Chains A and B, each alone.
Chain A
Amino acid sequence: MTHKSLLTVDALTRKRNTAEKRFKAYGLGAIIVAMIALALLLTSVVSTGSSAFKQTYATITVPLPAAKLDKSGTRDLAVMKKVTTIGYASLLRDGMVATVEELGIATDLNAKTIGKMLSKEASATVRNAVLADPDIVGTDMEFKLLMNGRIDGYFKGRVTMESAALDGNTSPEELQLAQALADVGVVDTTFNWAFLTAPDASDQRPEAAGLGVAILGSLYMMIVVLVLALPIGVAASIYLEEFAPKNRWTDIIEVNISNLAAVPSIVYGILGLAIFINFMEFNQSSPLVGGLCLTLMTLPTIIISTRAALKSVPPSIRDAALGVGASKIQAVFHHVLPLAASGILTGTIIGLAQALGETAPLLLIGMVAFVREYPAAYTPDAGLFGEAATALPVQVFNWTQRADPSFVERASGAIITLLIFLLIMNAIAIFLRRKFERRW
């Protein structure tokens, strides 16, 4: 037997060491690829989407002549409603032209073109203000009004003089005028609260489109999912894990739950359409139906993770509880469940996150609908969950299909909002987990 020195590495050891180094390199490589992908995703979304959170407004004085807006002279709303937004548009045009002239800005543009630099939404804004407070008729009021999508795009760098020259919807002269107005402070780009509060708007006015209804719809669906899926899922897991006899039936149930977790989500949409809309006749497009579909989709995830969490509680704890004469249910609720709480919470939040980002089933139950106005239900006196709404991922889907380039920015902004929504949910979960976590 030859003497082997510990100071020289033999061939077998060297081979083992290189294998280990190689494996470490693969792992590190995988992480680097993942980080690059994440960074690319975030930069692309943030760089196109962050501008959705800013919006260009013009602050102008609009004449509100009583002769035109209130022909009866009695401030009768029924009569005043007969004046449509088209009627208001001419007032806005006059206001814009007057502002330009007052400031002495020279321009070759005609009055009609100057009026069109405001968003189509602007006349609705003024009309709503008048109908809300008829007493302002007859005065000159100052309004902060949306500029149209091209002007807005110019201030965000999306539209340039060169692209405007080729664009039928705007012209370099309009942009020059807008720039001149911005220089004196009439036109300004500020934080876009309306993006988070306003409902969707039509194809022609991307500048007015907001996520308000989608955020509320998503929020309500999450509430439905949490309220239904968490108790049902946890109760089912506790029964299966702690009480159910281990036989062929429970095996079949177990296999089927695992299979359900892998069922494509669109199948749940068809199921929801058949059961909740066609059979139970709930309103289509409502967060209630959406939430129910997503509950069905989320249940297997919650059940699987809850069972894993219950399994991970050492059996000695159950023995200890049973040994002092606790009943099975006391052992589970006093000892096992608190120890499994953090695992259950993790599973729940994963399930909710999945549900929040789900689009396919919602398309089938009609949540893809274009919801122009806040549903009546969002006023406190109506049922909360039964009216048509939309959801964040569906809104993204919707906007990416629209023609106007401004919707690209809106869609990315909606994705950012969705991600922030998710981050908030995760933060709450981490906070709760810290709170519930038991130290061993």
Chain B
Amino acid sequence: MKDKTMTQSKISAKGVQVHYADTHAIKDVDVEIADKEVTAFIGPSGCGKSTFLRCINRMNDTIGICRVTGDIRIDGEDIYDPKVDPVQLRAKVGMVFQKPNPFPKSIYDNVAYGPKIHGLARDKDDLDQIVENALRKAALWNEAKDRLHASGTGLSGGQQQRLCIARAIATAPEVLLMDEPCSALDPIATAQVEELIDELRQSYSVVIVTHSMQQAARVSQKTAFFHLGNLVEFGETDKIFTNPEDPRTESYISGRIG
């Protein structure tokens, strides 16, 4: 692609269309997501922001009726190329889900699972180190270090979500996708996770879907506003929230639609 040299974008989407059976869920979306930045997707429910997020690591492949067309590139490589194995892609593009979903296994096994299946650890000590690093990065180490072999499902909601973040970053991804990671959390846990997102920005390209405009304003550098499957506006977060170009963006931000 020509513009690969022009911009420093990590993820570049062009003309992405998504259909669920007869529903046209994403209509011709173009977006450039930069490296080492937090990009927020906002918009009313059902606007397609989560669907678009799930295109980036091909989680939509698991839904039989979902059809994705268009061009999504990570570091210039087409991720929908038939040669791409989604399993490898998902190791590179980690994902955190809306509801904390730790495996019903120990905290250690939750974090160690990814590195184990991708062969990232040479030996037990190495694996221990990876687990510790991931838990430290997810700001869970201090709470979890004495109970690494206790069940992950026994943690509180906020801790579970940080465990899921640790699990996602343990596979050393380059991009981290977060689908409303704080919607099931209380304000304190939300604050912890937001702080964490800000730190993660130093190592990863983070894409976060959120319903909370305050959250988008707090954590992101770039914001994309989706409405009815269209990408209405995409730009610097400050600009979107203070001086939106599109009237629909303004209505949504000021609370008149959505």
Instruction: Give me the interface of A with B, judged by CB distance under 8 Å.
Output: 245-246, 314, 316-327, 330, 334-335, 339, 438-440
Residues on A with C-beta less than 8 A from B101 are: 314, 316-317, 319-320
* 15 A-B residue pairings within 8 Å (CB atoms): A318-B62, A319-B62, A319-B95, A319-B97, A320-B102, A320-B164, A321-B103, A323-B96, A323-B97, A324-B171, A325-B88, A325-B171, A330-B117, A339-B104, A440-B104
Please indicate the chain B residues that have their CB under 8 angstroms from the CB of A319 in the complex.
59, 62, 95, 97, 101
In the complex, the answer to whether A324 meets B59 with C-beta atoms within 8 Å is: no
CB neighbours (8 Å) of B90 from chain A are 322-325
Q: Is B153 an interface residue (CB 8 A)?
A: yes
B78-114 contacts to A (CB < 8 Å):
87-91, 94-97, 99, 101-104, 113-114
Please report the C-alpha to C-alpha distance between residue A282 and residue B18 in the assembled complex, in whole angstroms.
Answer: 57
The answer on a CB contact under 8 Å between B113 and A334 is yes
Cα of A208 to Cα of B185 in the assembled complex, Å: 73
Bound together, the chains give a CA A325 to CA B103 distance in angstroms of 14
Complex contacts, B247 vs chain A, CB 8 Å? none
Q: Is B216 an interface residue (CB 8 A)?
A: no
Does B215 belong to the interface (CB within 8 Å)?
no
**Contact between A320 and B103 (Cβ–Cβ < 8 Å)?**
yes
- What is the chain A residue whose CB lies nearest that of B89? A325
Asked if B168 is an interface residue, CB under 8 A from chain A, the answer is: yes
Q: Is the CB of A439 within 8 A of B151?
A: yes
Q: Are B104 and A325 in contact (CB under 8 A)?
A: no
B51 CB, min distance to chain A CBs, angstroms: 14
Q: Which residues of B contact A438 (CB under 8 A)?
A: 104
Residue on A with the closest CB to B110? A320
Which listed residue (A246, A316, A318, A323) contacts B94, Cβ 8 A? A323
Residues of A within 8 A of B114 (CB): 324-326
CA distance A204 to B113 in the complex (A): 68
Question: How many whole Å from B179's CB to the nearest CB in chain A?
Answer: 10
Q: Secondary structure of the A side of the interface? A: helix
Q: By the criterion CB–CB under 8 Å, are A327 and B103 in contact?
A: no
Q: With a CB–CB cut-off of 8 A, which chain B residues contact A326?
A: 87, 113-114, 117
Inter-chain CA distance A322–B89, complex, in Å, is: 11
Partner of A316, one of B87, B97, B170, B171: B97
Q: A323 and B59: CB pair below 8 A?
A: yes
Q: Which one of B113, B118, B167 has the highest number of Cβ atoms from chain A below 10 Å of its Cβ? A: B113
**B12 close to chain A: CB less than 8 A:** no
Q: Considering only CB atoms, which chain B residue lies closest to A334 in the complex?
A: B113
A317 to B164, CA, bound (A): 12
Query: Would B104 and A439 count as touching, CB distance under 8 A?
Result: yes
With A316-B101, A324-B168, A325-B114 as known contacts, state yes or no: A245 contacts B64, CB within 8 Å.
Answer: yes
Asked if A317 and B103 sit within 8 Å, CB to CB, the answer is yes
User: How far, in Å, is A310 (CB) from chain B's closest CB?
Assistant: 15
Minimum CB–CB distance from B243 to chain A (whole Å) comes to 36
Besides A246-B64, A316-B97, A317-B103, 10 more A-B contacts (Cβ < 8 Å) are: A322-B62, A323-B90, A323-B94, A324-B90, A324-B113, A324-B167, A326-B117, A334-B113, A339-B104, A439-B151
* Contact of B159 with A by CB under 8 A: no
Which one, B91, B99, B104, B151, contacts A324 given CB within 8 A? B91
Which residue of A316, A335, A439 is within 8 Å of B99 (Cβ)? A316
Q: A325-B118, A339-B104, A439-B151 are in contact. Are A320 and B97 (CB under 8 A)?
A: yes
Task: Give Cα A318–Cα B103 distance, bound, in whole angstroms.
Answer: 10
Cα(A320)–Cα(B59), bound, Å: 11
Q: Are A323 and B151 in contact (CB under 8 A)?
A: no
User: Quick one: closest A residue to B58, CB to CB?
Assistant: A322
Across the two chains, which residue of chain A brings its CB closest to B170? A324
Q: Which of B162-185 contact A (CB under 8 A)?
A: 164, 167-168, 170-171
Give the residues in chain A near B153, CB-CB below 8 Å.
Answer: 439-440
Identity of the chain A residue whose Cβ is nearest the Cβ of B98 in the assembled complex: A316
When C-beta atoms are compared, the residue in chain A nearest to B62 turns out to be A322
Find chain A residues with CB under 8 A from B89 CB: 325
Q: Is the CB of A323 within 8 A of B57?
A: yes
CA distance A182 to B114 in the complex (A): 76
Residue pair B94, A327 in contact (C-beta under 8 Å): no
Bound-state CA distance A318–B97 (Å) is: 12
How near does chain B come to A109, taking the closest CB pair, in angstroms?
76
Cβ distance B168 to chain A, nearest Cβ, rounded Å? 7
Closest CB-CB distance, A326 to chain B, in whole Å? Answer: 6
Shortest Cβ distance from residue A244 to the other chain B in the assembled complex, whole angstroms:
10
Minimum CB–CB distance for A70 against chain B, Å: 73
Residue interface mask B53-90, A partner, CB < 8 A = 1: 00001010010100000000000000000000001111
In angstroms, Cα B160 to Cα A320, docked, is 13
Bound-state CA distance A438–B154 (Å) is 12
Contact present for A325 and B59 (CB under 8 Å): no
CB neighbours (8 Å) of A322 from chain B are 59, 62, 90
| A339 / chain B contacts, CB cutoff of 8 Å | 104
Say how far B252's CB is from chain A's closest CB, in angstroms. Answer: 28
How far apart are A241's CB and chain B's nearest CB, in angstroms?
A: 13
- The smallest C-beta distance from B97 to any residue of chain A, in angstroms, reads 6
Chain B residues in 8 Å Cβ range of A320: 97, 101-103, 164, 167
Asked if A323 meets B168 with Cβ closer than 8 Å, knowing A316-B99, A335-B103, A440-B153, the reply is: yes
Neighbouring B residues of A440 by C-beta, 8 Å: 104, 153
Chain A residue nearest to B87 (CB atoms) is: A327
Q: Could you tell me if B97 and A324 are in contact, using CB atoms closer than 8 angstroms?
A: no
Q: Which of B90, B97, B153, B167 has the most CB of A within 10 A?
A: B90
A322 vs B96: C-alpha distance in the bound complex, in angstroms? 11
Across the interface, name the chain A residue whose C-beta is closest to B118.
Answer: A325
State whether B87 touches A325 (Cβ < 8 A).
Answer: yes
Report the separation of the CA atoms of residues A317 and B99 in the bound assembly, to the nearest whole angstrom. 11
Q: What 1/0 flags go to B141-157 for Cβ under 8 Å of A?
A: 00000000001010000
CB distance from B209 to the nearest CB of A (A): 14
How far is B62's CA from A165's CA once the two chains are assembled, in angstroms? Answer: 82
